Amino acid sequence: MKKRPKRGGRYRRDRRRKHRHWQVTVYYHDGEKFARVYIDRERASRFAERQKKSPVVKATRIMEVD
């Protein structure tokens, strides 16, 4: 009997992992960058939206990090 390949990514297999990390990177018009890491995706997106309102912010990006 052949084994079925397991489904799911690295996050599903690792039972130690209790939460994910989200890095918010803020890019400014003068070329500077600032990054902050959150455990909660909702808080990360709220921070990014709040930063976007500033006239000195060029862009924001949210990435999942290990």
Q: 4-13, pLDDT tens digit by residue? A: 666 656 556 6
Stretch 50-56: mean pLDDT, rounded?
97
Stretch 40-64: mean pLDDT, rounded?
96
Domain boundaries, the chain: 20-65
Give the count of beta carbons closer than 10 Å to the beta carbon of residue 22: 21
DSSP SS3 for 52: helix
- pLDDT exceeds 70 at position 24: yes
- pLDDT exceeds 90 at position 53: yes
Q: What is the pLDDT of residue 5?
A: 62
- The residue with greater pLDDT, 51 or 17, is 51
CB contact at 8 A, 63 and 44: no
